[in-house]
Amino acid sequence: MSADADIPALELIDVRAGYGRIEVLHTVDLVVPPGSVVALLGPNGAGKTTTLAVASGRVVPTAGCVHVGGRHVNGLPPEAFVRGGVCSIPEGRGVFANLTVRDNLKLWSHGTSRSLSEIEDMVFARFPRLKERRRQLAGTMSGGEQQMLAVARAVVADAGLLLLDEISMGLAPRIVAELYELVAQLAADGLAILLVEQFAQTALAVADHAAIMTSGVIRAVGDPVDIAAELAAAYLGGVA
Amino acid sequence: MYSITASGLVVTYATSGIFNFAHGALGMLGAFTYWQLTVAWHVPPLAALALVLLVVAPLLGAVVERVLIRRLYGTSLSVTLVVTVGLLLALIGVANLIWSPVTPRVLKPFFPNSLIHLPGVNVSAHQAIVVLVSLLVAVALRVFLARTRTGATMRAVVDDPGLVALTGTSPARASQLSWALGSSLAALAGILLAPLVTLSILTLTLLVINGYAAAVVGRLRSLPLTAVGGLALGLAESYSTGYLGGDLPNLLRPALPMFLLFVAVVFLRDTRLRAGGRIVGWSPRAVGLGESVRWSSLLLVVALLAAALAPGGLVDFLSSTLAIGFVLLSLVLLSGYAGQVSLCQLTFVGVGAYVMAKVAPGGSAFGILVVVPVCALLGVAVAVPVLRLRGLYLALATLAFASGMDTIFFLNAFGTGGAISVPRLSLPGVDSNRGYLILLTLAFAAGAVGLLSLRRSRVGRRMSALNDSPAACVTLGVGVNRTKLGVFAGAAAMSGLGGVLLGGQEGLVSGNDFQMLNSLVLLLILTIGGASTVSGALLGAVLFSAFPIIAEHVSFLSQASLLLTGLGAVSIGRNPYGIVGEASRRFAAARQAGRGALASVVIRPSPLRDGVL
């Protein structure tokens, strides 16, 4: 799905959300312009993951609007978000551990018009290592290979917006670099990406815009270079 | 034929992560619906078959999933266990209401008069059909689950429903589909099995339970292994009839599936220790010593008043209630505190009553000195092979043990339908019914106070730690095995003692009183009351002994008591702490609100939507 030039890929307007009676996001405003990469940074517990959960339909906001590609999608189930062109790679390993690599790939064909063999060709071309492992249970692969498999979904999904949550978590720097190479390439192809990352420098290197979030509120939005300067203050508890 | 049952079970387990104890009851319901259609309403068999397998059974499965199972994702194992066991009883109750168990019914085999001649053996056409269908089902299921995208989705739902939603499929629909499929397979097994045995509600339900053994051979996951397990089970059964001489086969044959189940469970390769339980947000507070003594004294005063003033019927009622309550206390210890689900507690009760009747027919109090160690030893004997097991497999092993004891021990020790008389403890002052009530009250009060003290002690903390996170226990140097063994032995001894008390109250007990099915009822009733509280045990006991009395007066309820128990247990899906838990939670919340303190925060995740976080 490709959006018009002026319609944002994702727009969160005055969003409040949380779990049960605990509110995590207190009025969050965030825009991901079409075809651009936005890095969402902030300390632990700031609400970054919750923001992504709202953007993928896993958490329904208690107030405010969620617009995907200009359409109001509040309250729709996550599978409707997928049909609307959102591809979300959740935190941790976003793979089905007890299914083989092939079965994992098979499931991806739900959201797209591609056939299994087409998906396999695309994924294996990108990550040859997964081809050797295609009959193996996904959960028995190394952490890096599992994350490759998880992130590979972004390659085959016909998405207009990609949500990445800490894809570097627990991985060797070499694998992180490999994954970010893919992210940069997807961005170059015109995909809009919202990414959450602990390694701020890695994220800022690929981002067009950056946002700092603390305590459920977006504190600052701007150019990656400017944001990098404000980061220390945000992490150390100062209000930007 | 076991393979069909078992594969249905495997399908639902593999695709919803919930072991469906009610599977047998679903199969039974399918067979009865089929009988209703063909025999009572004269629908042509083929149409009836299609109607049952393609419409009625899947619909039932889907409804069950929608109403009950969907709420269970992410809850603890004992809750899913109790709910599906409750469903089992509820379905039996429903069947009892619709098809009176008194009327005999016969379901004719398919092609009744034709035999197929194979080299060496003659096989009836029905048997041939059964074999063929089970092979066909096994192959078709394997292809469906392994090759198709829908099959992969169904398996993926077990892994991570949230992630399934992120790939663009509705996880709820996939799990609903798998339950419909499982229910349909159960019905198929029921229809095929019914002509080979009698069309009776209990026989059919329990027969399908035998399929559990085959499913466990397949480790609840692998369909080919399940088929092998089913085949082995069938062969073992017929060979034992054919080749073992004398009375032995008649003795052993019914116990064979359960024996296989026990062996299969014990030889399972175990997975890692579970780390960290669910966060429940709220748990019953531990009652202090003073408070427990006060309440016990109050109970004792009430009992003294009742013993002095109440009519004889009420005295009897209170006595049975307290005796049952004492047995339930042992379950509180085992299941409530230590989190070990046991489906064989009545077996220990039965053994206790039996031993007492044999060693101390005169009712000498020294009989207890024999009963307690015997039951404790039996408890240890059961616990040792299953020490490694957790949750579901533990429950299955105890189920197998209970069922095995049903057929081997109780049937023979008590004689078929026979009863033995259990002596009342002869202590000074307990020669009358009223005196016995006082004794029972004392026993219950002592048990309750003791249990609550145990709860607050070092051992009690160890048990709740075990319940919460075995992995953390190990890292702290708490001996998991020792604690488990101790708990099993203690609970078994308590149950045996309960057997002595209960037997003394009832006078005559028969083997039927201690059947596996009744053990299930016992666990359910405790859970309805509140599994981890002493007051829950008392409330459960009141319910348990009140049922027959209510049923005497309201004839409709005599059939519906199973149904009601089942429904009650099913409602546990909402609150795992039972009635007592719910009541005291509300009370605590109200008190807190009154003080103007921060209201306690109860997080209720709905796993299908935001569980991934």
The 10s digit of each residue's pLDDT in A4-37 is: 557 888 888 888 888 877 888 888 898 898 888 9
How many CA atoms, within 13 angstroms, populate the side-chain half-sphere of residue B408?
16
When scoring B16, B154, B163, B609 by the number of chain A Cβ atoms within 10 A, the one with the most, hence best to mutate, is B163
Helices (H), ranges, B41-167: 45-50, 57-67, 77-98, 125-147, 149-159, 161-166
CA distance linking residue A192 with residue A159, whole number of Å: 9
Comparing alpha-carbon positions, the chain B residue that sits nearest to A94 is B163
Beta-carbon pairs below 8 A across chains A and B? 94
Q: How far is CA B95 from CA B20, B23, B206, in A?
A: 18, 14, 14
Distance from the Cα of B272 to chain A's closest Cα (Å) equals 15
Give the best-scoring range by mean pLDDT among A29-33, B54-58, B107-111, B459-463: A29-33
Residues of A in contact with B165 (CB under 8 A): 57-58, 77-79, 82
Give the model confidence (pLDDT) of A174-232 as tens digits.
888 888 888 888 888 888 999 998 888 888 888 888 888 888 888 888 888 788 777 77
Asked if the C-beta of A212 comes within 8 angstroms of chain B's C-beta atoms, the answer is: no
- Looking at residue B424, the DSSP 8-state letter turns out to be P
Q: What is the pLDDT of residue B396?
A: 80
Above 50 in pLDDT, residue A94? yes
pLDDT at residue B305, as a whole number = 82
Provide the shortest C-alpha distance from residue B170 to chain A (in Å): 6
Decide if B80 contacts B72 (C-beta within 8 A): yes
With the CA atoms of A222, A224, A226 and A230 taken in that order, what torsion angle do they form, in degrees rounded to the nearest 10?
Answer: 90
CA distance A78 to chain B (A): 6
pLDDT tens sequence across B272-288: 444 444 444 445 566 67
Nearest CA in chain A to B146: A103
Closest chain A residue to B150, measured at CA: A107
Residue A73 sits at the chain B interface (C-beta within 8 Å): no
A232 and chain B: CB distance < 8 Å anywhere?
no
Would you tell me how many other CB atoms lie within 10 Å of the CB of residue B110?
18
CB B467 within 8 A of CB B278: no
Record the pTM.
0.74
- Determine phi and psi for B422, rounding to 5 degrees: -105, 130
Mean pLDDT (chain B, rounded) = 74
- At B274 the pLDDT is 47
Q: What is the pLDDT of residue A240?
A: 40
pLDDT above 50: residue B609: no
Q: ∠ CA(B384), CA(B385), CA(B388), 5° rounding?
A: 90
Higher-pLDDT residue of B271 and B110 is B110
Confidence of residue B587 (pLDDT cuts 50, 70, 90): low
- What's the pLDDT score for residue B429? 66
pLDDT value at residue B60? 87
In this predicted structure, the answer to whether residue A113 has a pLDDT above a threshold of 50 is yes
Which of A208-222, B7-21, B131-145 is predicted with the least confidence, judged by mean pLDDT? B7-21
Tell me the mean pLDDT in the region B215-235.
Answer: 74
Predicted local distance difference test score (pLDDT) of residue B603: 35
Q: Where are the domains of chain B?
A: 2-110+123-274, 289-516
Nearest partner of A14 among A82, A67, A88, judged by Cα: A67
pLDDT given for residue B120 in this prediction: 59
Residue B415 banded pLDDT, cuts 50, 70, 90: low
HSE-up of residue B524 (Cα within 13 Å, Cβ side): 31
Dihedral Cα A157, A159, A163, A168, nearest 10 deg: 40
Instruction: Answer whether A99 sits within 8 Å of B159, measured CB to CB.
Output: yes
Q: ipTM score of the complex?
A: 0.75
Q: How far apart are CA B35 and CA B33, in angstroms?
A: 5
A132 touches chain B (CB under 8 A): no
Q: Is there a contact between B156 and A109 if contact means CB atoms under 8 Å apart?
A: no
pLDDT in tens, A127-142: 888 888 888 888 888 8
Residue B417: band (very low, low, confident or very high) from pLDDT cuts 50, 70, 90: low
- Residue environment code for B9-25, b if the CB has 16+ CB neighbours within 10 A, otherwise e: bbbbbbbbbbbbbbbbb
Is a pLDDT exceeding 80 seen at residue B70?
no
B160 chain-A contacts, CB cut-off 8 A? 96
Pairing of strands A71-72, A63-68: antiparallel
Of residues A223 and B242, more confidence is placed in A223
Roughly how many angstroms between the first and final C-alpha of chain A, as a whole number?
Answer: 36
- The region of weakest confidence among B172-181, B234-243, B518-527 is B234-243
| Cα separation, B153 vs B147, whole angstroms | 11
At residue A84 the predicted structure's pLDDT band, cuts being 50, 70 and 90, is: confident
**Is A50's Cβ below 8 Å from some Cβ in B?**
yes
Measured between CB atoms, does A180 come within 8 Å of chain B? no
Per-residue confidence (pLDDT) for residue B591, from 0 to 100: 62
The verdict on a CB contact (< 8 Å) between B168 and A88 is no
Q: Say whether pLDDT at B122 is over 80.
A: no
Q: Let me know: does B276 contact B472? Beta carbons within 8 Å.
A: yes
Chain A residues lying within 8 Å of B603, measured CB to CB: 19-22
Helix, strand, coil share (%) of chain B residues, nearest 5: 75, 0, 25
**Of all residues in chain A, what percent are helix, strand and coil, respectively (each to 5)?**
40, 25, 35
What pLDDT shows up at residue B552? 58
Token digits of residue B559: 């059939």
**pLDDT (tens digit per residue) in B572-582:** 555 555 666 66
Residue B158 CB burial class (10 angstroms; 0-12, 13-18, ≥19): buried
pLDDT value at residue B280: 47
Pick from B59-63, B234-238, B257-261, B529-533 the range whose average pLDDT is largest: B59-63
